[in-house]
Amino acid sequence: MVDFLSAQTSYSLTLPGSPFLISNCQDGLDHTDSPELERVRNLVHQQRQESCLQTTATTLDLFIDWLSMLRRRVFLASRQLLRRSIWLDHLFQEIQIQADHLAKAERRAGQLTSRARCASNWLISVLNNINRGCNLTTLDQLSSAISADNPFDR
């Protein structure tokens, strides 16, 4: 490495592909304005720029690869979310169907409960009629007591 800004006049520099070598310039002369030194500075600057460009290009390649990988992951995640969304939609539809069946069953149970309550009330009424008329001796009298308020005749 060359430190052109230091006060030293001793340099040792070899540039790859360069036809000249500056080394041990200790002649006491100021070489800062020489054309060879300016050429070396330009070559060093050019190599630094090329190195920086190469590093930037490599970094950009890695960034593009990372973005491609990220895009692929987002694509796969979106497909998985779509599948889950479809599955959840089917599940929701099945829940709706089961809820409808349950509502129908509850209505039917309510109807059956109402009919059972009605039958129970009728049976109590029959028993009360029989109890009131303990002297029912004929089948017709018993039949008329049972027929009173019979909800099943309606």
- Does residue 97 fall inside a structural domain? yes
- Does residue 3 fall inside a structural domain? no
What gap in Å lies between CA 35 and CA 42, rounded to an integer?
Answer: 10
Q: What is the pTM of this model?
A: 0.41
- Does residue 84 fall inside a structural domain? yes
Angle, helix 35-132 to helix 139-147, in steps of 10 degrees? 150
Domain count, the chain: 1
Alpha-carbon distances of 122 from 96, 126, 128, rounded to whole Å: 38, 6, 10
Beta-bridge partners for 16: none
Domain holding 103, by residue range, is 12-125
- Does residue 137 fall inside a structural domain? no
- Does residue 42 fall inside a structural domain? yes
- Does residue 36 fall inside a structural domain? yes
- Does residue 22 fall inside a structural domain? yes
Among 21, 58, 52, residue whose Cα is nearest residue 36: 21
pLDDT in tens, 30-40: 545 678 878 88
pLDDT in tens, 45-104: 888 888 888 999 999 999 999 999 999 999 999 999 999 999 999 999 999 999 999 999
- Does residue 57 fall inside a structural domain? yes
